[in-house]
A and B are shown apart, each in its own frame.
Chain A
Amino acid sequence: MSAEPTVLEVDDLVVHYPIHRGIVGTVTRQPRRMVHAVEGVSLSLQGGEMLALVGESGCGKTTTAQAVLRLVDPVSGSIRFGGRDLVPLGSRELRPLRRRIQVVYQDPYESLDPRFRVRAVVEEPLLIHGLGGSKSERSAHVEEALRRVELSPPELYLDRFPHELSGGQRQRVAIAAALVLEPEVLVADEPVSMLDVSVRAGVLNVLDGLRRDGLAILMITHDLSTAARFAQRIAVMYLGRIVEEGPAAAVVRNPQHPYTKALLSVVPRRDPRDRHRPQILQGETPDAVAIPSGCRFHPRCPVAIDRCAVEDPSLAQPASAGDGHRAACLLLPAGR
């Protein structure tokens, strides 16, 4: 698409969580069971690009993000950033790299300390990392960050406490606190799902502007219409795997995987004349402890054939899709 360099490259990432056995389980020496949260995820992110990771709860999208932030330890795989693989690094070696990958969480009510004024919230990361120079230089950085998230003039907000801000403004403060460190990658985990519809667009447009200025954004969302509108690429996850990935418009207009098709069909449309029969999958995402054999989607798949219970498909470009658009389904005739 563009000549922007790849800033983050995740390859064949695997993350497992042990299940809490409880006292009885431990005493009776039940075998330790594992949640296979992420099972071989690969993705890459360029500067100036937003990649949306979409899927139902429990599909592993948040775990993928946490691995990128190195808040969980992967079992295997690599996360290449800044010329290094983050996976084998210890906390001391990670420290200088952490500044360059920042995160914004879902709940702006929880993520901001209610005792700190906006000025202190945004300055805090600079102090933690010993950056930003003198007090007045830090102040300038803080104001600049507030301007970038469209909280301007900054003087209007600097001395307010979080409870004196609306939800949308709080989320902008959280983004400003991430930006003040000038990261190359921003992980945004459901950044607008707790916000009122009327203010969501404002926060998303701020993220979009930052992306246009060169920031690479990994956005976790369950909302395909937001992903379609704001991301350049979409990766659809199901039970720890990416089942489809490609340019956002291609994934939405020419979906390949039956799971993506079903997800798109249940997204409500604004126009009451645009009613259509949603293709509702029964049941919920099975838990990642007992992964189905073969294609992990086959028990819920409306078009599965016998072979799907046996063979595990891998991501490939189907004949019916364009460049850079891949899906993992046995029923799709391979392209080039």
Chain B
Amino acid sequence: MSAPLLRVEDLHVWFDLAEGGELHAVQGVGLSLEPGERLGLVGESGCGKTTTALAIMGLLPPSASVSGRVLIDGTDILSGGEAAMRPHRWVDVAIVFQGAMNALNPVRTIGEQIVESLELHNRARGTAARSRTAELLEAVGIPAGRAARYPHELSGGMRQRAAIAMALSCDPRVLIADEPTTALDVMVQAQILELLDALCRDFGLALVLVTHDLPVVAQLCDRCAVMYAGEIVERGPLDLLYHSPGHPYSRMLFAASPDLAGLDEPVLSIPGAPPRLDRPIDGCPFRPRCDSAFAACVERPSLQEVAEDHAAACHLNDRVPA
């Protein structure tokens, strides 16, 4: 089989802390993505979703150190540093940053900002850049007439579309969208999700949807990776994650979201809080909050296949020796 479009192997990220010490934000993450595939990356605040995304983009701050591999079409772009990363950033993999819709340049129209990003990446200049901008705006559903508007003159939904258009300016094959709908109203959220869906369908874009909202992923994605305390604790097709979860955390996350189809079901919170990442973690990181912990959980479990294309890091799946 040919190499996947994007593959992440044993990714680690440490942040140097101002007060001394290190924070191990990403602890051995592995992912892979085929063309046109939609992968959800979910987990609680602080579990390392954004850090993983920034590491893939090579956009971590200087206080971070990284190890592991990020492969595009089978070639590692992480170990070669900035020189190896630059030709692929935005061109193969692009990102819509968390909060991007509120980070557009307030003194430039959205059309100007897209033209600038096309010129910056040597994709087009002058008239060609302007007509490409019109195409991009159309692709994300912004009426051409609004290209001359400033960010503050647009609604939240339109600004998020503009941020998506900017990320698409170099025709990437993978789009990472970090919490693209979190601050939006339900109806506008549905409009943005429909847009992301259409971009995958119509242009064969592969999507990494980063969010804490599991039901959103359940509706839009094919596969899902659940992160906890810097590592992936379960990954697989969504249908399996929901109907036969391999990790109690995934099951408990689903049970924590109220659902219209289960009005009489109890909605259960997950007690406690995730562990600190600036100290070594003893045993299974989820053990103190887990409703099924048992003796074996004092050892840290590793991510193991529980079925084809379905892996989980939980001792409940350990085979009892016959």
A contact residues vs B (CB 8 Å cutoff)? 56-57, 166, 168, 196-205, 222-226, 228-230, 249, 252, 262-264, 266-275, 278, 280-282, 284-285
Contact = CB atoms under 8 A, between A and B. Distances in A.
B260 A272 contact: no
B186 A222 contact: yes
B254 A270 contact: yes
Contacts of B186: 56, 222-224, 263, 266-267
6 contacts: A225-B260, A266-B187, A269-B218, A272-B239, A273-B239, A280-B190
Contacts of B252: 198
B216 interface: yes
A267 B260 CA distance: 8
A198 B260 CA distance: 18
Interface residues of B, number: 40
Interface in B143-167: 155, 157
B212 interface: yes
Interface of B: 44-45, 155, 157, 185-191, 194, 212-216, 218-219, 238-239, 242-243, 252-254, 256-263, 267-271, 273
Interface of B is mostly: helix
B259 A205 contact: no
B256 A200 contact: yes
Given A166-B273, A270-B215, A228 B187 contact: no
Contacts of B257: 197, 225, 270
A198 B44 contact: yes
Given A225-B257, A268-B213, A269-B219, A262 B187 contact: yes
Contacts of A204: 258, 267
A197 B213 CA distance: 7
Contact of B218 (A57, A201, A228, A268): A268
Nearest to B42: A197
A269 B44 contact: no
Contact of B44 (A197, A205, A229, A267): A197
Contacts of A225: 257-260
Contact of A284 (B44, B155, B214): B155
Given A200-B256, A222-B185, A271-B218, A205 B269 contact: yes
Contact of A270 (B45, B157, B190, B214): B214
